[in-house]
Structure 1
Amino acid sequence: MNSVSPTAVQYGSPEASRRTLGHKNPSSRNDQTKMGSEGASRDGEADEVDKIKSKLLTAWNNVKYGWTVKMKTHFSSTMPLYLLGELYNFRFDDDIERFQKDFVSRIWMTYRKDFPALEGTLLTTDCGWGCMIRSGQMLLAQGLLVHLLSRDWFWPNALYTHLVDMEPIRSSSPSNTLNYPVPSSTKYPQERSRSVWHTLPHQRIVQYPHQEQIHRDILRWLSDHPASPFGLHHMVSLGGSMGKKAGDWYGPSIVAHIMRKALDRASQVPELSVYVSQDCTVYRGDVEQLLGEDPPSDGSVVGRAVIVLVPVRLGGEAFNPVYKHCVKEFLRMQSCLGIIGGKPKHSLYFIGYQDNNLLYLDPHYCQPYIDTSKDEFPLEVNVDEQESVCALVIFDSE
């Protein structure tokens, strides 16, 4: 997918239209006023052209990517599946149900349209250029869910949400993204993860009112509104100090630093920080320093935590197969928050794998803007499951 930059728009003003070289006279002033009116007319035409281009791009984008939303995903019933550190074996019916609950509970961020215009522009959509920012938002959303609600939380309405049909069968996908043999010892681990899910699989159906409020707060913080601390408007604004503007394509390293700045400035979660590694190196002392800062004084039971972002390049023009095993090992970690990246100018949010196929959330489907300022706004999203980088992300807490 090619990056799309907005057409430059010249903003005319009465003062600017009256500027001349040399002396002024009534006739020249009238001529300038006429020229200013013509300039404003041209600007208005350019604005309309931009709006038409935006609508056409959104329509084409949804034709290009919309079919994946309704596609049927095939899973193997003989191979384990890992989703952000959680193990699922589709030999067991309860594992299939637990996986559906888990997957639907992830927050899916996509292109949006018709939101308030980004500052200094007429753009009301990020279609065509905002996929890396959306991937970063999904990653950050997962960190907020783990920090404020725990990895064992799930959305109670997950069982009643329309999920694309899944047909557990033997692996037959044409996409063999991770062509790396799974050792026989890992096919059916003898012990499952000792989380609340596995010991009390039905207990998670109950959600307390404060949990629902936290869930809604997280969605509000990520909404496409200038006041949202982790919304697109604020992310783009922070990118300005790094030479980026609305309409540019953002790389994973830039987005990692934008997320760090956003969390540093967010008063909503003062106990959560982001650490971005330099040259693929994580310095333990720096992370421990972030964890060792004074806890919040408001009596909150939530301790300090750090999201560790590691921007890396796993190959040259294409993914280097030597890293396949490392990617799998990373996605099996309990502290894993996922991987953002993909092909140049085409970002995805990778959250798991089965056999040699990656599981990811695709941000490229464009959906209408949702006003989260209302008390009751829709929580349901049409999730996109696909079989198939980058920034590796780890969640570390006290």
Structure 2
Amino acid sequence: MDVMLEAFLPYEGAIIPDDIPKTKETIWILGKEYKPPHDIKVIRAHIRSTLWFTYRRGFDPIGETTYTSDRGWGCMLRCGQMMLARAYTTYYMGADWIWTPETQDQTYLKILHLFEDHFMERYSVHQIAMMGTQEGKKVGQWFSPNNIAQVLKKLSLHEYWTKFVVHVALHNTVIINEIKHDCKNRQPTEPEPAKHRHSQFKPPPRGPWSPLLLIIPLRLGMKNILPHYLELLKRCFMLEHSMGMLGGTPNHALYFFGCVGDEVFFFDPHTTQNSARVGDKSTWEQVAADETYHCDYAMRRKLSKMDPSLAVGFLCCTESDFDSLCKQLQAKKITTGDLPLFQIVDKRPQYMV
């Protein structure tokens, strides 16, 4: 699968992929509305600015195993990294932030470092794989959307710089009072290390609400997504709080971040690159390393071809954002009607106690 990289990194004489269709239909990418062909350049910049995580090889062994690559098993881990990293860049850099190869913004670099392949980085493949053992997954085993969501939730409790809350809504149910409690009472599980207290990368002061990444694992059919849910999934991409979806096909995870017509846009992690550290981007090697975390082109497929096991994600930077999300979900009839995608309740139902 290494040759897939050639489909994303153009060279002289290369055929440019037709990832953005020639259409008059509206394109939705993570809650933003675009009108082709006028917005093609803006769409490209948006795609290029989203961090792209792929299989890597040549990193230090994971724990006491001999794994120095996640090729063949780490695709859902990489997709989870992509969703969380997108939430971080949106929160700290802004939804309209644009990356270029010359970017040396210290906040951006700090975010990227969190996901690099090193056991000391909070959301590295090392940390995710080792935390996965608490979910019953041995290092080297494939994760489901729910597995990666649960692991990111646990790891976020130990992340001191961003202090994000990753909340996983189980049983197709978003419980408002529990989410608000978590976001207003976010506490680390252990004292903040000195290296974080004295870090030069200081995020903006936080208010009474910790930024929320809400992940909702869903099962929308047996072998295929039931037709009723296809339109509801499309509506999720149209919400300004959308952070995309984790899914794919069995044992082949993909990160979905937009839609047009009956198709979805996605990043595919099934390209194996050498492990690379970006540092402060002061050398040409570090600049080149940074470029391996960005992709000029997306891919697309029929929404109906997605696996029915998936997880949708939403970012709420403030409490008013969360209130707005709940209202928008109801207004677009995503959480109402006879067959809602999931439900929103004020407090935990008695049957879930």
Determine if the TM-score, normalized by the shorter chain, exceeds 0.5: yes
The yes-or-no answer on 1:327 pairing with 2:233 is: yes
The yes-or-no answer on 1:231 pairing with 2:231 is: no
Distance in 2 between the 1:269 and 1:387 partners?
32
One-letter identity of the residue aligned with 1:155: W
Distance in 1 between the 2:279 and 2:138 partners?
26
- Local SS of the residue matching 1:393: strand
One-letter identity of the residue aligned with 1:301: P
- Which of 255, 265, 269 is the matching residue for 1:359? 265
Aligned residues: 283
- Local SS of the residue matching 1:326: helix
Query: What is the CA distance between 1:112 and its match in structure 2?
Result: 0.4
Aligned counterpart, 2:17? 72
One-letter identity of the residue aligned with 2:235: E
- Equivalent residues in 2 for 1:168-207, closer than 5 Å: none
Unaligned ranges ≥5, structure 2: 11-15, 189-196, 302-306, 319-353
Could you tell me whether the CA contact under 8 Å between 1:290 and 1:306 is conserved in 2? no
The yes-or-no answer on 1:149 pairing with 2:93 is: yes
One-letter identity of the residue aligned with 1:350: F
One-letter identity of the residue aligned with 1:289: H
Change (3 A) 1:330 1:266: same
Query: What is the CA distance between 1:154 and its match in structure 2?
Result: 1.6
Change (3 A) 1:76 1:107: same
Could you tell me whether the CA contact under 8 Å between 2:117 and 2:126 is conserved in 1? yes
The yes-or-no answer on 1:282 pairing with 2:169 is: no
Query: What is the CA distance between 1:375 and its match in structure 2?
Result: 5.1
- Which of 292, 298, 314 is the matching residue for 1:385? 298
The yes-or-no answer on 1:301 pairing with 2:205 is: yes
- Equivalent residues in 2 for 1:100-139, closer than 5 Å: 100-139=44-83
- Local SS of the residue matching 1:351: strand
Deviation digits for residues 258-285 of structure 1 (CA, Å, limit 9, x no counterpart): 0001111111212x10111120101000
Distance in 1 between the 2:37 and 2:251 partners?
38
Aligned counterpart, 1:24? none
Query: What is the CA distance between 1:231 and its match in structure 2?
Result: 0.5
Aligned counterpart, 1:62? 2
- Local SS of the residue matching 1:75: coil
- Which of 216, 219, 223 is the matching residue for 1:317? 223
Instruction: State the Cα RMSD in Å.
Output: 2.3
Deviation digits for residues 295-329 of structure 1 (CA, Å, limit 9, x no counterpart): 99999434421111100012111222221101110
Unaligned ranges ≥5, structure 1: 1-60, 161-206
- Which of 307, 316, 328 is the matching residue for 1:396? 316
Query: What is the CA distance between 1:109 and its match in structure 2?
Result: 0.3
Could you tell me whether the CA contact under 8 Å between 2:109 and 2:280 is conserved in 1? no
Higher Cα radius of gyration: 1
Distance in 1 between the 2:232 and 2:215 partners?
16
Could you tell me whether the CA contact under 8 Å between 2:85 and 2:111 is conserved in 1? yes
Distance in 2 between the 1:149 and 1:253 partners?
27
Distance in 2 between the 1:227 and 1:295 partners?
21
Q: Runs (4+) of structure 1 moved beyond 4 Å?
A: 294-299
* Identity across matched positions, percent: 25
Change (3 A) 1:294 1:219: closer
Query: What is the CA distance between 1:122 and its match in structure 2?
Result: 1.1
Distance in 1 between the 2:215 and 2:179 partners?
11
One-letter identity of the residue aligned with 2:61: A
The yes-or-no answer on 1:262 pairing with 2:177 is: no
Distance in 1 between the 2:110 and 2:223 partners?
40
Distance in 2 between the 1:391 and 1:294 partners?
23
Distance in 2 between the 1:375 and 1:101 partners?
21
Give the structure with the higher percent helix: 1
Query: What is the CA distance between 1:67 and its match in structure 2?
Result: 5.5
Query: What is the CA distance between 1:250 and its match in structure 2?
Result: 0.7
One-letter identity of the residue aligned with 2:64: G
One-letter identity of the residue aligned with 1:108: W
Could you tell me whether the CA contact under 8 Å between 1:142 and 1:337 is conserved in 2? yes
One-letter identity of the residue aligned with 2:152: M
One-letter identity of the residue aligned with 1:226: F
Distance in 2 between the 1:106 and 1:154 partners?
9
